[in-house]
Amino acid sequence: MIIAFIGDIVGHPGREMLKQYLPEMKKEYEIDFVIANYENVSHGFGMTPKNANEIVGYGVDCMTGGNHSWDKKEIENIFDTHEILRPHNYPDEVSGTGCKVYDVAGEKLAVLNLMGHYSMPMCDNAFRKAKETIEALHVDGVKNIFVDFHAEATSEKRAMMMLLQGQASGIIGTHTHVSTDDFQIAQGTAYLTDIGLTGCRDNVIGMDEKAPLKQFMTGLKGHFDVPKKCKKILQIAIMDFSEGECTSAFKLKQFDDGELLKTDAWIEKD
């Protein structure tokens, strides 16, 4: 199966890039299933039902979240009506789930959403939750497993790769909005520390630079806004999963001026 993953979609600019490029990418690369992180979809914070329907309309099959999942309270009403996840290590009393299994191209695909610990809300242990969930999926005969690990610290993301290497088909980090250059496949597991944002690329993590610069210069916080006009990028990872392993993978950077950059994942030799 060919699956694709898009990281933090930031506001209208991010949604605009999906509308313009995702449908054709699905056709060109014969993508069977698209996963995208929604936590910044609606003006940078959370997601409204209207924007959820918009994202689905552009070709996204499953949406993962993070620490901003509940910033728009209306999301409580659509966990059961849309293919929306929230971090699985939130307590069981919280609405929604962080793991779902789908039928894709004649095989089962599990999507698992987890959140890290450093600078994040208090939650259950992400590493223990990941281990027990994946072990249960294997018992149920689910081999193809994709993990969106929403975390601030690169060390946490790398540690998750070491824990799940050979157990999950793909592990890709989100949250920082800054892409890393370490896409690899090791023991059948695709790994990328952070895929980076989809949205504005000529400011600070997809937001207008005024508020973050004021905070860095004075220590005073301000309201972060998504610019109405900016230079944009769509970042997407495309992976081929079979029998629980990733056999090939690459990342595309699609710029709004039409330029397209492709980077193949490096394959670690045994």
The residue type of 79 is F
Name 122's Cβ contacts closer than 8 Å, sequence gap at least 6.
none
Name 22's Cβ contacts closer than 8 Å, sequence gap at least 6.
6, 34, 58, 59, 60, 234, 236
Query: In this structure, what token pair is assigned to residue 195?
Result: 């895929």
Name 258's Cβ contacts closer than 8 Å, sequence gap at least 6.
none
CA distances from residue 63 to 24, 60, 113, 266 in whole angstroms, order as listed: 19, 7, 9, 27
Q: Tell me if residue 68 is catalytic.
A: yes
Per-residue b or e along 201-224, where b marks 16 or more CB atoms closer than 10 Å to that residue's CB: bebbbbbbeebbeeeeeeeeeeeb
The answer to whether the CB of 188 falls within 8 A of the CB of 166 is yes
Q: Nearest 5°: CA angle at 181, between 184 and 243? A: 20
Selecting among 68, 82, 88, 150, the annotated active-site residue is: 68
- Enumerate the active-site residues: 68
